[in-house]
Amino acid sequence: MPTDDTALAPEPPNPRIGRYVSTVAFDETVNAYVPPPLPPEPPLTLAPQLLQRLSEADRAIGRLDGVAMLLPDKALFLYMYVRKEAVLSSQIEGTQSTLDDLLQYENAALAGKPLDDITEVSSYVDAMMYGLSVLRDPKGLPLCLRLLRDMHARLLQKGRGEAKNPGEFRRSQNWLGGTRPGNAHYVPPPVNEMQTCLSDLERFLQDDSAQIPPLIKAGFLHVQFESIHPFLDGNGRLGRLLIALFLVEKKVLQEPLLYLSLYLKTHREQYYRLLQDVRLRGDWEVWTEFFLTGVAETANNAHESAMRIVGLFQADRERISASGEQINSMLRIHELLRTHPFLNAAQAQQKTGLSAPTVNKAFESLEKLEVVKEVTGKQRGRVFAYTEFLRILDGGTEVQEPRRQ
């Protein structure tokens, strides 16, 4: 029989839950959250359902990695998929740009002054490709705090974030949601605590002694980075980039083709709620199941897109080859459309060396075959779009929601 003292004894504190510290932000005293270091203690409970999700995610990743190796032009698929991810990840943060906007801006096929939204997405592409090049350079850096800062500098080099100390960890208190610190949804650790949290994060990032499966570890890293929120702006985008680059560094993927932004955009409310559940209750199991489900779903969708794109290119080449006219010039322009899905005649002339009459006749023939469609409606300065290719790429990038405040 328990004694009264035993019955009333308080439960021991949950070591998975961080602590709150009092800090001042904009003349308001608030409680800021300091997450405990990773990995979670006690360790993650690998229940049968979670193990099943891990197995499904591993299989989907393997299938995606396999098809990437078989693609006739994997650099092209990476080129386009990276841009789709840049659009989706930036949309989560409130930008209104679509993939078509970005491709038109990059290819300069349609005239117009670039908007902040588009330059921000373009900077995301730059940050992503820079991080990948550093990881692949034998003399480069591993995934570390310095590399994250360097990527952040590129992420915020243009647009609305350029005044938010690009490449520098914050030196002041920030907060998420609400109109001021006092009614914020979440207040990250103060600067002095943040430095310790970042050191712990880097140590966990580079330490494989715990032998945590890489996919589970990637999910841990993402949550911890989001909780620390070490920059004044760009934390969400960099936190999502961290997932793909970590999996490349650990050789789970040969190419960084796993990007969760569409999944997180689709399940946005659940995503933010689960981040908070980890902070408030230490509920890593539910978060990990959600994360692994997203990995499997995203990898399967990417695999399907890759196969559809390969099939489209092959089918269009066969239709062009069977058309009986302008075959060589049409094939050369079709090859160009794979990396420039918005294209005008001047660009086609410059990049192929074909004459203006030959290019114009080839575009007319491609339009008759319904491979391309003229999108300006003008007689001069016409721009042609590789419509079916864009339709495959555009899935999920349509802007349907208002900007987050």
Sign of CA dihedral 119, 122, 128, 131: negative
Of the candidates 229, 303, 334, 340, the residue annotated as catalytic is 229
Cβ atoms of 240 and 295 within 8 Å: the answer is no
Beta strands in 1-133 (DSSP E): 19-25, 28-34
Task: Name the phi and psi angles at 166, rounded to 5.
Answer: -55, 135
Alpha-carbon gap, residue 19 to 51, rounded angstroms = 30
H helix count then E strand count, the chain: 16, 5
Q: Does 170 carry a binding-site annotation?
A: no
As a whole number of angstroms, the distance between CA 389 and CA 386 comes to 6
229 known ligand binder: yes
340 in active site: no
Residue 395: what are its φ and ψ, rounded to 5°?
-50, 120
| Residue 235 assigned ligand-binding role | yes
Residue 254 in tokens:
């040969």
Strands 19-25 and 383-385: unpaired
Tokens of 352: 């192929």
Spatial contact of 125 and 164, defined as CB atoms under 8 Å apart = no
The CA–CA distances, whole Å, from 119 to 189, 247, 319 equal 30, 27, 37
Task: Say whether 271 counts as a known binding-site residue.
Answer: yes
Instruction: Count CB-CB contacts under 10 A for residue 188.
Output: 24
The tokens describing 365, both together, are 């023939």
Distances (CA, A) of 42 to 20, 46, 288: 20, 12, 15
Contact 194, 170 (CB under 8 A): yes
What single-letter DSSP state applies at residue 369? T
**DSSP string covering 108-121, please?**
T-S--PPPHHHHHH
Q: Is 239 annotated as a binding residue?
A: yes
Contact call for residues 83 and 99 (beta carbons, < 8 A) = yes
Residue with tokens 């490709």: 129
Q: Could you say which DSSP state residue 385 is in?
A: E
Q: Is 240 annotated as a binding residue?
A: yes
**Where is the binding site for ATP, in residues?**
93, 229, 233-240, 271-272
**Where is the binding site, in residues?**
93, 229, 233-240, 271-272
Just list the catalytic residues. 229
